[in-house]
């Protein structure tokens, strides 16, 4: 048991009956699951119900261990490559999207597959194909190695797309000012960072083509805006999300850019009570892959140490719903 916990526990259980110290808790809204994550999880659950377990899933369906473990308990088997999938069982592609080579391989092997790619990611895939058809080289703004980036870059032939992660990367691009270029972005980036990179691209390549509407998804933008709303009122912000979740990491960065310390946690058990020693107002949010159960778990844990004054700060409401694949609805 760590020292911070002992201190707070002692404070809470003093024979004098002294009350636990108050904690103002600002909970950001929107937070947690987005429509794409809801859809992906429902695809796996419906596939298990319709076809029976096991249902294989290529890569984590979404980046959250709690969600993955819950689906495993229902009969999902998670693998990284299709050669791990036996014949005659369904396989689901994750919400992050896959290169075109993956469904092609599944078809060669005569695997039955369901595509849980977020429709907003699929939209970027279609944009990439159209830009290539128009003879443009694509500059893709994203984080190297992220599954969504791998999937989007895998929509076009090698050599047709170049990844940039920073403004410095833009300065190092080898293209001429008037070359036929287009840019697209990963859907889970920092809104502010991406704006800076896009500004650098358009300054260097004034004729570069961009998407009609920004590729950063509504959920990512909304969650970042909600964190901005609460961060300046807090001494600390907690973000519930996985360390490999791009949108969750961006929420931490958003708070820190405003000068408010922030910590990424996966579960309530990750919280060190010592973090709260000088905190009177705490912010709380959750990445797009984190279920609301984890938010309540954190609130309950905080309530063991402090008297919670819980306030939800809503910056917008979300009503987006995505259709399921026809294989699960017919």
For tokens 């500004």, the residue is 199
304 is catalytic: no
The token pair that represents 157 in the structure block:
């032939």
Query: Which of the residues 3, 45, 107, 148 is marked catalytic?
Result: 148
Detail the DSSP E strand segments found in the chain: 22-29, 55-58, 76-79, 91-93, 113-115, 137-141, 161-164, 181-185, 236-240, 262-265, 281-286, 307-314
Angstrom CA distances, 96 to 36, 61, 93, 152, stand at 9, 8, 8, 9
Sheet containing 262-265: give its strands across: 262-265, 236-240, 281-286, 22-29, 307-314
DSSP-assigned beta bridge partners for residue 138: 161, 182
φ/ψ of residue 117, rounded to 5: -55, 130
The token pair that represents 326 in the structure block:
């026809």
Catalytic residues: 148
């Amino acid at each position: 048991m760590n020292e911070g916990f002992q201190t707070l526990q002692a404070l809470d259980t003093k024979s004098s009956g002294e009350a636990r110290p108050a904690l103002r808790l600002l909970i950001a809204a929107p937070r947690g699951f987005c429509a794409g994550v809801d859809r992906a999880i429902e695809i796996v659950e419906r596939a298990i119900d319709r076809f029976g377990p096991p249902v294989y899933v290529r890569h984590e369906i979404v980046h959250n261990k709690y969600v993955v473990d819950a689906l495993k308990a229902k009969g999902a088997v998670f693998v990284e490559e299709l050669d791990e999938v036996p014949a005659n069982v369904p396989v689901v592609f994750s919400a992050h999207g896959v290169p075109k080579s993956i469904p092609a391989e599944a078809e060669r092997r005569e695997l039955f597959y369901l595509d849980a790619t977020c429709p907003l990611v699929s939209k970027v895939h279609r944009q990439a194909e159209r830009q290539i058809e128009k003879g443009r080289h694509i500059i893709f703004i994203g984080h190297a190695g992220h599954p969504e980036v791998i999937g989007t870059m895998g929509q076009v032939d090698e050599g047709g797309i170049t990844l940039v992660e920073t403004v410095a990367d833009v300065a190092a691009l080898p293209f001429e000012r008037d070359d036929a270029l287009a840019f697209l972005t990963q859907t889970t980036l920092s809104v502010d960072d991406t704006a800076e990179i896009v500004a650098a691209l358009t300054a260097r390549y004034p004729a570069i083509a961009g998407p009609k509407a920004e590729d950063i998804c509504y959920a990512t933008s909304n969650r970042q805006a909600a964190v901005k709303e609460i961060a300046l009122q807090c001494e600390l912000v907690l973000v519930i999300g996985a360390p490999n979740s791009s949108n969750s990491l961006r929420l931490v960065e958003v708070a820190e850019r405003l000068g408010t310390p922030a910590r990424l946690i996966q579960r309530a058990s990750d919280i060190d009570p010592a973090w709260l020693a000088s905190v009177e107002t705490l912010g709380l949010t959750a990445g797009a892959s984190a279920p609301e159960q984890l938010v309540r778990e954190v609130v309950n844990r905080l309530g063991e140490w402090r008297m919670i004054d819980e306030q939800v700060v809503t910056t917008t409401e979300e009503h987006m719903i995505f259709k399921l694949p026809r294989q699960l609805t017919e």
